[in-house]
Amino acid sequence: MILTKINEITLGEAGVYGLLGYGMVFLGLVLLMFLVMILGKAFMVAEKKAAKKTVVEETPAEEVKPVAPGAAGQLSLNNVDPKTAAMLMAIVADKLQKPINELRFISVKEVE
């Protein structure tokens, strides 16, 4: 590191510092570019390996549950667990003042 403070400089020195400085910025960012490229490639390779290792297990056939009286078919649940769906159906039935087995629910979906 140049410890002495350089105040007055000649045009020639200014030109050299200018070129050196621009070169230094390019060097720094080019090396950074290679670093980012290497990191990017390493992450992409790691992600591919992780994707290959994932084993899709066959889900066992679900037991056919008897349809409750009044239900016209299967209820479709989207991002909702059965317990939450059951609570929602109970609330709707209560608000409508109708027995739940007289209502047909087709789908319950969580809207984000």
Partner 1 sequence: MNIGQILLNLWNASGFAAMTWQNGVMLIIGCVLLYLAIVKKFEPLLLCGIAFGCILTNLPMANLYHQELWTAFMNKEIGYGEILKNGGLLDFFYIGVKTSIYPCLIFMGVGAMTDFGPLLSYPKSLLLGAAAQMGVFVAFFGAVVLGFTGPQAASIGIIGGADGPTAIFLTSKLAPELLGAIAVAAYSYMALIPLIQPPFMKLLTTKKEREIKMEQTRKVSKAEKIIFPIAVTLFVALLLPDTAPLIGCLMLGNLAKETGVTDRLSDTMQNALMNIVTILLSVSVGATMVGTTFLTGETLKIVVLGVCAFILSTVGGLLVGKLMCWLTKGKINPLIGSAGVSAVPMAARVANLEGQKANPSNFLLMHAMGPNVAGVIGPAIAAGFLLNIFG
Binding stretches for partner 1 (CB under 8 A): 1-2, 5-9, 11, 13-15, 17-22, 24-26, 28-33, 35-37, 39-40, 43-44, 47
SS (H, E, C) the chain: CCCCCCCCCCHHHHHHHHHHHHHHHHHHHHHHHHHHHHHHHHHHHHHHHHHHHCCCCCCCCCCCCCCCCCCCCCCEEECCCHHHHHHHHHHHHHHHCCCHHHCCCCEEECCC
Q: Of the two residues 13 and 110, which places its CB atom closer to partner 1 in the complex?
A: 13
Q: Of the two residues 28 and 82, which places its CB atom closer to partner 1 in the complex?
A: 28
Q: Please, what is the minimum distance in Å from the beta carbon of residue 49 to partner 1?
A: 13
Q: Please, what is the minimum distance in Å from the beta carbon of residue 21 to partner 1?
A: 5
Q: Of the two residues 37 and 67, which places its CB atom closer to partner 1 in the complex?
A: 37
Q: Please, what is the minimum distance in Å from the beta carbon of residue 33 to partner 1?
A: 4
Q: Of the two residues 36 and 67, which places its CB atom closer to partner 1 in the complex?
A: 36
Strand partners, 77: 108
